[in-house]
Amino acid sequence: MGSASRTALEAAKTVLATLPIRSERVGDEVLAASRSIQGSAQLRSLLADPGISPEDKGRLVGRVFARLDASAVSLLAAMSAERWSTPDEFVAGVEEIGVRALVVAAPAGTSIDREIFAFQTALRSDSQLELAVSSKLGSPDAKAALVERLLVGASAPTRILVAHLVRQPRGRRIGEALRNAAAIAADQAGLGIATVRTATPLTTAQLTRLEATLSARYGRKLSINQVIDGTLIGGVRISIGDDVIDGSVATRLSDLRLQLVG
């Protein structure tokens, strides 16, 4: 995001923190509003136009989204009052605040980022399923209905969020959209995400020690996502944001081969 959009997003987070978000309805409606804004070039341009006064944009939000929960309207009005780098970044910001509102309303103990990761894992293991939820040929509502069936055991916020992403990918591959949403959800919950790839599953004790070590190193509690990858042979490869800690046997062998060739 551009600097103006980042500033606007921080302001929106501050507004979100002041509102009484008691159910997933607010997040659901903010996400639905992002789809409406994305689908209307005129509305998108008007709400992101820095030449229109915040008061006028607030009145426009009130008219267009009059049936939404008052907190959802307040969020949309506050966001439209800010200056955004581009209209597309305004839509991305609305989507992010919708995700964060879902996390705020989620019942205690709900881990939206972990539920998204489990869904990602299921998609990666079934190419036909991944195609069904990401193909441009399928209708958005049909894909959302499929997601509802697949996520029958997941929390309501996660079902709402994933259904939104398949309805409105915004040019992203479904895997990218899911990873971004999981990172936002974890951040709102005060967590970071560490993706740990190993050739064989780690034990619960090993995962607990690894989580404690990484959390201490990064100064933030981390949510661990474990991926089994037989190509690693042994060892572990850890990704945390842009950081990669690669202690896999496959990489060490590759480095050794390069040294021998050199």
pLDDT for the residue 82: 95
Nearest in space to 64 (alpha carbons), one of 37, 39, 90: 37
pLDDT for the residue 138: 79
What does the block give as tokens for 142?
Answer: 């049909």
pLDDT for the residue 186: 93
pLDDT for the residue 132: 87
pLDDT for the residue 128: 87
pLDDT for the residue 251: 62
pLDDT for the residue 70: 94
Stretches where the chain sits below pLDDT 70 are 247-262
Each residue of 156-196: pLDDT tens digit? 999 999 999 999 988 888 989 999 999 999 999 998 888 88
- φ/ψ of 233, rounded to 5, equals 70, -55
The whole-angstrom separation of Cα 109 and Cα 107 is: 6
Which residues does residue 193 pair with via DSSP β-bridges, in sequence order?
223
> Do 166 and 147 contact (CB within 8 A), yes or no?
yes
Please spell the DSSP secondary structure of 63-80, one letter per residue.
Answer: HHTTTS-HHHHHHHHHHH
pLDDT for the residue 188: 94
pLDDT for the residue 258: 54
Contacts of 173 (CB under 8 A, 6+ apart): 134
The whole-angstrom separation of Cα 218 and Cα 245 is: 13
Percent of the chain with pLDDT over 90: 53
The whole-angstrom separation of Cα 181 and Cα 215 is: 21
pLDDT for the residue 228: 86
Output the pTM of the full model: 0.84
